[in-house]
Chain A
Amino acid sequence: MNRSVERHRNVLDFALSSLLRRKGKNVSLWVVYTLIVSLIAAIVFYTHALKREAALILQGAPDIVVQKMVAGRHDLVPVGYVEKIAAIRGVRSVRPRLWGYYYDAATGANYTLMASDDPLPGPGAADIGSGVARTLHLTEGDFLPIRATDGTPTLFQVRKVLPYASELASSDLILLSEGDLRALFDFPRGFATDLAVTVGNPAERPTIAAKIAGQFPDSRPILNSEILRTYDSIFDWRGGMMVVMLGVAVLAFVIFAWDKATGLSAEERREIGILKSVGWETGDVLLLKFWEGAAISLAAFLCGTILAYIQVFFLSASLFEPALKGWSVLYPRFKLVPDVDPYQLAVLFFLTVVPYTVATIIPSWRAATVDPDAAMRS
């Protein structure tokens, strides 16, 4: 046992010395390798954490949201639907939701306006998300200007700024009283944006959704599970960002491994020839090359994964922010709860370390099986 360990240590010593002889080339190789692993790991960590965040946060979303469709687009839903849907067996409550969007031409930001259930002190008061407060430099007691549908500027006094901690859900939210929202957008009486349906038994949700769709053919019920699946799909590996970024990173890695697998430098061939001529067996040469590949890939895997973890969970994924932000003026500030699946780490390890190590062994095996004299002359 000790002899075998000592043999591996000796070969590892030799492999590290051999790598250090070509320091410039191998250090740059390790840096590139680390960056590629880091990019792939950061994408995997970020999307997994975001999917989990969405699943946990949106658990409290309505069980079923009922929209009305007109010519394939959603329209205001008559409040008259409430009683009929509430009469369906298994439905606990139906609540009309009144909400819409407001584009602020001054800042170029889009806000979500919603009728608040919280009793506001009176007309002209508003609760705002911290993203809105940040964009417009508002604090409690300040006035928020909103242009009504008829073009009249209306001022709302900020009653409170919603907690900074809830930015991921409420950053762009402006909560107004129902009367103010109706007056602002000239919302017709007796209509709501959609209906939030609460169902007693979660297992009955699809059946109740089917009954609603049957009773109101112009409606589109959206289940809570569909809301959650939306976020699963957005941050799935097939999602746009995932495909593009993972594709680029994997392609870079393939080019990199391919370069390694397609051949050895003349110096490396000569080295193998010399080793064989001084008595090294083919197995010893392969062990040496295995340790060379393993040393670089293991160090790159560990450093890349640590860098990715720090980038995503300590630096709030600042690398991805420009991509996610797109053209948005208002972007929430949030921290993701770290959640790394061991399965993902294992996949990452087998996708990065194993192919590279194998790719270094194959050309060495070819070089090690030829005559030492020919290898040295080549």
Chain B
Amino acid sequence: MRKSTAFSLFTLGNAILLALLLCSGRYGSGEARAMQEASRIVVDRFQLTDLCLFTEARYTRHPSMADLHSAFQDHPMALEHFPSGSLVSPPRFRRDRP
């Protein structure tokens, strides 16, 4: 087999695999969709406001409910205590608000 044919088949195979993965995400993934729906129902039922992603501190557990300067709540130049503090920047609407 010519090298160009082998390379074309390799590229085509990868492209088809990628397309299949993208399609499987759109039409499959039943478990993930069930989880999404279950979470949506719980949020609606208990009127929750945040995702349970970072549970280490109150301002990372509920970033949308936290104090205006919660990431630096001890004082404006305070260094962060938690690793997630370096991952979460204050949302723009909070920075823009007086």
Contacts and interface: CB of A to CB of B under 8 A. Distances in A.
A334 B91 contact: no
B32 A336 contact: yes
Centre residue among B57, B64, B83 by max chain A CB count within 10 A? B64
B82 to A, nearest CB: 5
Nearest to A234: B88
B34 to A, nearest CB: 5
Contacts, number: 232
A306 B46 contact: no
B41 to A, nearest CB: 7
A230 interface: yes
A17 B51 CA distance: 52
Given A97-B47, A326-B54, A9 B25 contact: no
Contacts of B62: 112
A126 interface: no
A351 interface: no
Contact of B32 (A238, A324, A329, A335): A335
Interface stretch (A140-148, A163-171, A250-258): A163-171
A54 B46 contact: no
Interface in A50-69: 53-54, 56-62, 65, 67
Centre residue among A59, A65, A170 by max chain B CB count within 10 A? A170
Given A172-B55, A233-B91, A326-B82, A61 B32 contact: no
Contacts of A31: none
Contacts of B51: 53-54, 57-58, 168-169, 231
A352 interface: no
A156 interface: no
Nearest to A332: B52
Contacts of A170: 39, 42, 46, 48, 52
A326 B25 contact: no
Given A168-B35, A335-B29, 18 more contacts: A13-B3, A60-B43, A110-B58, A165-B35, A166-B38, A167-B35, A170-B52, A172-B55, A233-B92, A238-B89, A240-B86, A299-B10, A299-B11, A323-B83, A323-B87, A337-B29, A338-B22, A340-B22
A-B pairs with lowest CB-CB distance, top 4: A338-B25, A60-B44, A165-B38, A233-B91
17 contacts: A109-B55, A170-B46, A172-B52, A173-B46, A229-B91, A231-B63, A234-B89, A306-B21, A309-B18, A313-B21, A324-B84, A327-B84, A328-B54, A329-B55, A335-B29, A337-B29, A338-B29
